[in-house]
A and B are shown apart, each in its own frame.
Chain A
Amino acid sequence: GENVEQHPSTLSVQEGDSAVIKCTYSDSASNYFPWYKQELGKRPQLIIDIRSNVGEKKDQRIAVTLNKTAKHFSLHITETQPEDSAVYFCAAGYGNKLVFGAGTILRVKS
C-alpha cells in the first residue's frame, strides 16, 4: 500500500523567511496530493492541492511542486507570518483513499 514520508518533523523560521516541507510517496498510482494545516486542537483544513497532471501550483504565498518521476512533492510558504505557525500534513491518494504524512510542526518566530 501507499506510504508517505514527510520531512522535517519540526521547522523554525524567522518571520518573513521562506519555509519548505518535503514529502515522498511510494505508490506510483497516487494522483492527488493535498496539503492540510492543523492548528492546535482544531480540525485539519486544506490549504492547497495538486493533481498528477500538473507540476506546480501557486496560491498567493503558498506553492506546491510535484515530481512524479521521483515521487516527491513539496510545500513552499514565502514571507512567513506568525499565523502560519501550525502543523502541516501532506497526503497522497488514489481514488478516495488518502494516506497522510506524520506532520511538520512549523514555528514562525517574530
Chain B
Amino acid sequence: GAGVSQSPRYKVAKRGQDVALRCDPISGHVSLFWYQQALGQGPEFLTYFQNEAQLDKSGLPSDRFFAERPEGSVSTLKIQRTQQEDSAVYLCASSLSGTGGHEQYFGPGTRLTVT
C-alpha cells in the first residue's frame, strides 16, 4: 500500500516568506508526527496529533511554526516569516496506534532552504 507522502519534496524560500508543507499519512493511521532534521543530526520532535487533536506541540521552536490536521488525516506544517535557521529537512511520520510504543512510518521529507 501507499506509504507516507510529503509535498513539496524541495522548497526554496526567501527569508521572510511563509511556507506550507503537506503530509499525507498512511490511511487509517491515528497518530501523526512532525520532526525537524538538521544536516548530520537525528530527527527532532516538533509536534504530535492524535486524529485531529494536537496533543503535544512542545517541540515547535517558535510561534512562527503552526501545524494542523483538521480532518484527522492530511496535515500541514506552516512556517511564517522564514529565517535561515529554519533550513532543514521536515519529516512527517504516522503510526497506527494512538497509545505510543509502536512503529512510526516516515515520509521522504521536505528539504527547506531559506536564502
Contacts and interface: CB of A to CB of B under 8 A. Distances in A.
Interface of A: 4, 6, 31-32, 34, 36, 42-46, 49, 51, 89, 91, 93-103
The bracket for how many chain B residues form the interface is 20 to 34
Interface string B6-36: 0000000000000000000000000101000
Contacts, number: 61
Given A34-B103, A95-B101, A97-B48, 5 more contacts: A96-B31, A96-B95, A96-B99, A97-B100, A100-B43
A55 to B, nearest CB: 17
Interface of B: 4, 31, 33, 40-45, 48, 50, 55-56, 91, 95, 98-101, 103-109
A2 to B, nearest CB: 10
Contact of B43 (A31, A44, A96): A44
A81 B8 CA distance: 34
A40 B7 CA distance: 19
Contacts of A45: 106
Instruction: Among B44, B101, B105, B107, find the residue whose CB has the most chain A CB atoms closer than 10 A.
Output: B101
Nearest to B49: A96
Contacts of A4: 42
A43 B42 contact: no
Given A44-B91, A96-B33, A96-B56, A103 B40 contact: yes
Nearest to A6: B42
B54 to A, nearest CB: 12
Given A43-B108, A101-B42, A93 B101 contact: yes
Given A49-B103, A89-B42, A103-B42, A96 B91 contact: no
A73 to B, nearest CB: 15
A43 B101 contact: no
Nearest to A4: B42
Contacts of B99: 95-96
